[in-house]
Amino acid sequence: MSQTRRLLLVAPDAMIRTPAFDRATELALVMDLPLHIVAIDYLELLSVAGLFAPDQVKQARDGYVETHRHWLWQQAELARRHGVEVTSEVVWSKDAYQALQHYVTEIPLALIIKDAEPEPAMKRIFFTPLDWRLLRDCPVPVHLVTNARHPRPRRVLAVVDVLRSEQQDLVFNDQIVDAAVKLAEQCNAQVELLHAFDWVAVYASDMGVGALPLATGLYEALGQEQRAVFESLAERHGVPPQQRHFIEGAPLSSICTFATDQQCDVIVMGTTQHRGLDRRLGSTAEQILQRAPCSLLAIKPQE
Q: What integer is the mean pLDDT of 278-298?
A: 72
DSSP class of residue 51 equals T
Task: Tell me the whole-structure pTM to 2 decimals.
Answer: 0.87
Q: Is residue 224 very low, low, confident or very high in pLDDT (cuts 50, 70, 90)? A: confident
Domain 1-115: top CATH class: alpha beta
CATH fold of 146-303, please? Rossmann fold (3.40.50)
Q: What integer is the mean pLDDT of 153-180?
A: 89
Q: Which stretches within 121-250 are classed as H helix?
A: 121-126, 130-137, 167-187, 199-206, 216-236
Predicted confidence (pLDDT) at residue 148 exceeds the cutoff of 80: no
Tell me if 1-115 shares its fold with 146-303: yes
Domain extents for the chain? 1-115, 146-303
Give the model confidence (pLDDT) of 47-81 as tens digits: 554 444 566 667 777 888 899 999 999 999 999 99
Q: What integer is the mean pLDDT of 284-297?
A: 81
Q: What integer is the mean pLDDT of 180-195?
A: 97
Strongest mean pLDDT among 3-12, 28-37, 87-96, 282-291: 28-37
Give the model confidence (pLDDT) of 115-137 as tens digits: 998 766 656 556 568 888 898 88
Q: Count of CB atoms within 10 A of residue 87's CB?
A: 15
Q: Is residue 297 very low, low, confident or very high in pLDDT (cuts 50, 70, 90)? A: very high
Per the prediction, the chain carries an average pLDDT of 84
Strands, DSSP E only, in the chain? 6-11, 35-41, 86-92, 109-115, 142-145, 155-159, 190-197, 244-248, 266-270, 295-299
